[in-house]
Amino acid sequence: MARPRKPLLSRERIVACALALVDAEGLGAVSTRRLAAELGVSGPSLYNHFRTKDEILDAVADEVCSQVDLSMFEDGTEWRAALLGWARSYRAALTAHPNIVPFLAQGPGRRPSQLRMADAVFGAMTAAGWPKVQATHIGATMRYFVAGSALGSFARGFVDDADVYARDYPHLDEAHLLAEHQQRIDDGAFETGLRALVDGLAQRFSS
């Protein structure tokens, strides 16, 4: 029998399969045994591409972060507009894959995409005139804010039952309607916080 023209396994296939598992079932679903079964290969064959499960998750996290647009830090965009555009792109990537966020929150480690992102933000802030310490704080603060916004939905946290709130929580008399408008509320909350954060930084920069 002729050998297949393409190898049965590649880093890209493993990462895509692992990301699909994380999206569908969470981080706990990823194991070398499960991945091998999903990919239709023997377990040891995975080790030709990754030494450990954490290396696979690192690659998954890096793939998600590679989707974040960094062009605004490279084309001379004013620093406030650059932060706004980057934060929106960053949130879009994370909300598309929220189950990977806790792993990403551990920090960039050796992941190229996250390191490029940290380098781009820090470089743009220092180029704009921020001291290095403050530029570091800005990058960290933005990451905390974006990651936190992607971890869950404020609106979906309320149940669709007016009786739960009506008697004991008079100011939440319409809270049972929030889940119905989840996307609009969560997007609006993110934009409100993002604008307040960047506007606050601008005031501090000019003082």
More confident residue, 132 or 76: 132
Element (DSSP H or E) covering residue 6? none
The Cα–Cα gap between 13 and 31 comes to: 15
Q: SS3 helix, strand, coil % of the chain, rounded to 5?
A: 75, 0, 25
pLDDT at 3 over 70: no
Q: Measured between alpha carbons, how far is 89 from 82 in angstroms, rounded to an integer?
A: 11
Residue 57 is predicted with a pLDDT of: 94
Cα atoms in the 13 Å half-sphere on the side-chain side of 77: 17
pLDDT value at 1 more than 50? no
Residue 207 has pLDDT above 80, yes or no: no
Q: How many angstroms separate the CA atoms of 113 and 59, rounded?
A: 10
What's the pTM value of the predicted model, to 2 decimals? 0.88
Task: Give the mean model confidence (pLDDT) for residues 73-83.
Answer: 95
